[in-house]
Amino acid sequence: MTDSNRHPRRIVVAGGGTAGWMAAAAIARTMGRTVDLTLVESDAIGTVGVGESTIPPLVTYNRLLGINEAEFMRATQATFKLGVLFDDWKQVGSRYFHSFGLTGKDHWSAGFQHFWLHGRANGHGQSYDDYCLELVAAMQGRFAHMPEDRMNYAYQLDSTLYAKVLRQMAEADGAKRVEGRIAQVEQHGESGDIAALVLDSGKRVEGELFLDCTGFRALLIEQTLHAGFDDWTHHLPCDSAIAIQTENVGPPVPYTRAMAHDAGWQWRIPLQHRSGNGLVYCSRYLSRDDALARLLGNIEGEALTEPNFLKFTSGVRRKQWYRNCVAVGLSSGFMEPLESTAIHLIQRAVLRLIRMMPQGEISERDIAEFNDQQHADTLQIRDFLILHYKATERRDSPFWRYCGTMEIPETLAQKIELFRETGRVFRRNEELFAENSWVQVMMGQGIMPRAYHPIAEKLRADELDALLGNLRDTVARTVASLPEHGAYVARYCGAAQPAMPAAAAMARG
């Protein structure tokens, strides 16, 4: 068959939600008529739908798809996010901020933390935080787009509404949606590859490449193909969550909050017209009833929804691409939402698949490379999440005593001890979290370097004073010029007030 009359590759996406429609929208827009794309989902099957906090790569993803930012934010009731505020993680009463920006100004030989540490050793008492534009802006509740993308940001959004935006795009670009519950997955007798999805109506949806977006069920990749799963509960012990939406009680702030409690942590994420809340916990140390009572006792504003109870196991599928099936989203594995990486991992899988889209037969080399890269991504994110639990001074509960004394991967131990001894952090192989993220979290959790790069001592005292003073002043002046975040959102992408959910309407009588 020549290239000119090669039939479009038949791609079938099993499952909708954020994962399914992110995949369908990107593939349909990128691949065009070279693919015949069908998405199968059932209105009777709900989605997890609590992915409200994102990280900056989603800005790039939306731009790649040609999504108008203001329209997208209006449709998803989104606000801007400059980072995460961590309460009570190092110890009860402590607080630090993990921002999306850079701190200070690096030298090619050494990061800014080395110059700050040198200043600290010589009497400079200003916080490391004062040198980060995004951090200072977040804590003052300010935001604006800046020239040359100087402000690094992400979104706080309604992921269910985001899926609807992506569905409209995908269908406009030729994707077909088939309604129905998947009753059976047919395999080829000889190869074991997936041949078709059989719906409860009896309809068969055939394909050559299948994307498993069926969530925790992993209907294709695990229930059918048995790809295997690596359980990381030993390092990430939380296994349960409860989510609930509430009314906003004030202007939305440009950051997510992660508040530690004695058996896990709680999130608070402000959108334009509501806030997302949730309690993440380890069921070995906290019962479901006590977790619900704790969450309801620590929310702001009236509840708009009934509690959504979730069970999960942190870990990863051993093969995220197996035979002719690619797992995307929760079917590929799960790491708790502490650093808002769930949507990012969907994005990475989808873009990586598009880069490796087969023309003829599926290449085993492509499969191996895809799995290696995906596995590297998940290991690096895993280590960053474990850091939050391991590097703690808390010993006030069995949960924190376990976390503080648990064994950790050697890759993370090396990173921690290198920073503790030398102040150095190195980013490897397009690692998601850059040096400044590691520095902010490690110092925020109480790991302070015992030394710094000798190049910092090259500066005379007056030169060091000038460097640090100018950087602080620039940040302070820039932030002072920014508008209040809520006012900026209202002007830029203000959404119409949504209809009141039934639960809230009934509560009000």
* Residue 506 banded pLDDT, cuts 50, 70, 90: very low
- b or e along 173-201 (b: 16 or more beta carbons within 10 Å of the residue's beta carbon)? bbbebbebebeebebeeeeebbbbbbbee
Place of tokens 């934010």: 73
- Quick one: pLDDT at residue 47? 63
Q: Which of 197, 194, 209 is nearest to 360 (CA)?
A: 209
Q: Let me know whether 245 and 270 are in one domain.
A: yes
pTM, 2 dp:
0.94
- Quick one: pLDDT at residue 505? 40
Q: Let me know whether 29 and 162 are in one domain.
A: yes
- Quick one: pLDDT at residue 503? 40
Does some domain include residue 355? yes
Average pLDDT over residues 292-305: 97
- Quick one: pLDDT at residue 499? 54
List, in sequence order, the alpha helices (H) in 37-104: 57-64, 69-76
* Overall domain count for the chain: 2
* Residue 34 banded pLDDT, cuts 50, 70, 90: very high
- Quick one: pLDDT at residue 8? 81
Does some domain include residue 34? yes
CA distance 270 to 249: 10
State which of 362, 394, 422 marks the end of a domain. Answer: 362
CA distance 455 to 226: 53
Q: Let me know whether 351 and 327 are in one domain.
A: yes
- Quick one: pLDDT at residue 429? 81
Q: Let me know whether 185 and 305 are in one domain.
A: no
Q: Which amino acid is at 207?
A: G
Does some domain include residue 406? no
- Quick one: pLDDT at residue 51? 63
Please say whether the beta carbons of 143 and 80 come within 8 A. yes
Q: Let me know whether 247 and 223 are in one domain.
A: no
Q: Let me know whether 213 and 267 are in one domain.
A: no
SS3 of residue 283 by DSSP: coil
Q: Find the largest Cα–Cα distance for the chain.
A: 79
CATH number at residue 26: 3.50.50.60
Q: Let me know whether 290 and 318 are in one domain.
A: no
Specify whether the backbone of 53 is left (phi greater than 0), alpha (psi in -120 to 50) or beta: beta
Please say whether the beta carbons of 329 and 215 come within 8 A. yes
Inform me whether the pLDDT recorded for 4 exceeds 60: no
- b or e along 68-89 (b: 16 or more beta carbons within 10 Å of the residue's beta carbon)? eeeebbbbbbbbbbbbbbbbbb
pLDDT tens for each residue of 111-141: 999 999 999 999 999 999 999 999 999 999 9
Range of the domain at 299: 240-311
Q: Per DSSP, what are the bridge partners of residue 279?
A: 242, 266
Q: Let me know whether 307 and 173 are in one domain.
A: no
Please say whether the beta carbons of 156 and 78 come within 8 A. yes
Q: Let me know whether 331 and 298 are in one domain.
A: no
Q: Let me know whether 319 and 193 are in one domain.
A: yes
**What is 360-427 written as a DSSP string?**
SSPPHHHHHHHHHHHHHHHHHHHHHHHHHHHS----SSHHHHHHHHS---HHHHHHHHHHHHH-----
Give the N- to C-terminal CA distance of the chain in Å, as an integer. Answer: 67
Place of tokens 């992506």: 166
Averaged pLDDT of the chain: 94
- Quick one: pLDDT at residue 7? 73
pLDDT tens for each residue of 175-209: 999 999 999 999 999 899 999 999 999 999 999 99
Does some domain include residue 370? no
Q: Which tokens is 344 given?
A: 């990012």
Does some domain include residue 170? yes
Does some domain include residue 136? no
- b or e along 333-346 (b: 16 or more beta carbons within 10 Å of the residue's beta carbon)? bbbbbbbbbbbbbb
- The alpha carbon torsion through 329, 309, 57, 13 (nearest 10 deg) reads 30
Please say whether the beta carbons of 14 and 40 come within 8 A. yes
Does some domain include residue 153? no
Q: Which helix (H) or strand (E) holds 22?
A: helix 17-31
State which of 311, 327, 346 marks the end of a domain. Answer: 311
pLDDT tens for each residue of 485-502: 999 999 999 998 765 554
Secondary structure string (H, E, C) spanning 306-322: CCEEEECCCEEECCCEE
- Quick one: pLDDT at residue 44? 82
pLDDT tens for each residue of 37-69: 999 999 887 665 556 999 999 999 999 999 999
State which of 302, 336, 362 marks the end of a domain. Answer: 362
CA distance 95 to 242: 23
CA distance 225 to 323: 8
Does some domain include residue 79? no
Q: Let me know whether 303 and 199 are in one domain.
A: no
Q: Let me know whether 284 and 341 are in one domain.
A: no
φ/ψ of residue 101, rounded to 5: -95, -175
